[in-house]
């Protein structure tokens, strides 16, 4: 299985993501700079976390208008799986690849801690080895993770089973509507989430709760 990571100035979680992808697939991901207009052949394209363009204007806003994003849009439309984590989620939302918006945390503070994450949809490419209803520990680190969508969009997400992850057990760290931590697009091939599963997969991370997510990628 081939993977690719898209890199923007200010992204800083790409190495953690590359290690997680390599551990799961046995191959290092291709790294694609934001000025590229083509993305090499890959079964999964990941937009990692960080602080692209210093979060200027709105988190993810400037990265979402980069040259590489047209290529990403084409690949997503063609059915390639796309995963956005943290800033990557913000970028996908700003690019219109996922609905809604990620706003300033309700408590106004940057949150860096572990939350409990409930798996709500086990049919996506990222959750196929994680049973629905499973609750895992996962770190979050963000200032703008407060998921917002208008009532109609929210109803569409909920009715379509498109909420993939929810903050569980009262651990919502940012005021997200319906405790939403991650969603999938209508076509089922673009997943975005605020928490960092790539940082909960090996003994050195303290726990390995999120390893099945990555193991599931290569299982297809």
Partner 1 sequence: MKAKVTITLKTGVLDPQGKAIEGALSSLDFAGVGNVRQGKYIELDIAETDAAKAEAQVTAMCEKLLANTVIENYHIELV
By annotation, the residues acting in catalysis are 86, 196, 198
- Considering the rule CB under 8 A, would residue 108 count as an interface residue with partner 1? yes
Backbone angles phi, psi at 60, to 5 degrees: 85, -10
Other CB atoms within 10 Å distance of the CB of residue 129: 16
Q: List the one residue from 2, 34, 104, 207 that touches partner 1 (CB under 8 A).
A: 104
- Considering the rule CB under 8 A, would residue 111 count as an interface residue with partner 1? no
Query: In the beta sheet, which residues pair with residue 116?
Result: 137
Residue 10 Cβ, how far from partner 1 at the closest point, in Å?
17
- Considering the rule CB under 8 A, would residue 175 count as an interface residue with partner 1? yes
Specify the DSSP element, H or E, that contains 166.
strand 163-167
Hey, which residues between 119 and 138 contact partner 1 (CB under 8 A)? none
Helices assigned H by DSSP within 95-205: 151-159
Give the angle 142-146-147 at the CA atoms, nearest 5°: 125
Of 168, 167, 164, 156, nearest in space to 120 by CA: 164
* CA-based R_g, the chain, Å: 16
- Considering the rule CB under 8 A, would residue 105 count as an interface residue with partner 1? yes
Size of the site for partner 1 (CB under 8 A): 20
Q: List the one residue from 58, 116, 156, 205 that touches partner 1 (CB under 8 A).
A: 58
Q: Which two tokens stand for residue 79?
A: 């059915």
Stretch that binds partner 1, among 30-38, 78-86, 93-101, 126-134 (CB under 8 A): 93-101
**Identity of the residue, 53 or 125, whose beta carbon is nearer to partner 1 in the bound complex:** 53
**Identity of the residue, 40 or 107, whose beta carbon is nearer to partner 1 in the bound complex:** 107
Q: List the one residue from 14, 94, 144, 209 that touches partner 1 (CB under 8 A).
A: 94
Backbone angles phi, psi at 31, to 5 degrees: -110, 125
């Amino acid at each position: 299985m081939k993977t690719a990571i898209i890199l923007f100035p200010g992204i800083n979680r790409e190495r953690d993501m590359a290690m997680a992808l390599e551990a799961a697939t046995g191959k290092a991901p291709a790294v694609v700079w934001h000025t590229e207009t083509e993305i090499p052949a890959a079964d999964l394209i990941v937009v990692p976390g960080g602080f692209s363009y210093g979060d200027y204007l709105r988190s993810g806003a400037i990265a979402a208008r980069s040259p590489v994003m047209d290529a990403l849009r084409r690949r997503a439309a063609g059915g390639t799986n796309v995963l956005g984590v943290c800033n990557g989620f913000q970028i996908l939302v700003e690019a219109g690849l996922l609905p809604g918006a990620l706003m300033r945390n309700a408590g106004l503070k940057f949150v860096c801690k572990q939350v409990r994450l409930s798996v709500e949809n086990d049919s996506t490419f990222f959750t196929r080895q994680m049973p629905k209803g499973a609750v895992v520990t996962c770190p979050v680190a963000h200032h703008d993770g407060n998921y917002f969508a208008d009532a109609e969009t929210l109803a569409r997400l909920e009715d379509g089973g498109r909420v993939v992850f929810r903050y569980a057990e009262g651990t919502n760290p940012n005021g997200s509507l319906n405790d939403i931590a991650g969603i999938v697009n209508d076509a089922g091939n673009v997943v975005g989430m605020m928490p960092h599963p790539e940082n909960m997969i090996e003994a050195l991370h303290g726990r390995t709760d999120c390893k099945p997510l990555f193991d599931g990628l290569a299982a297809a």
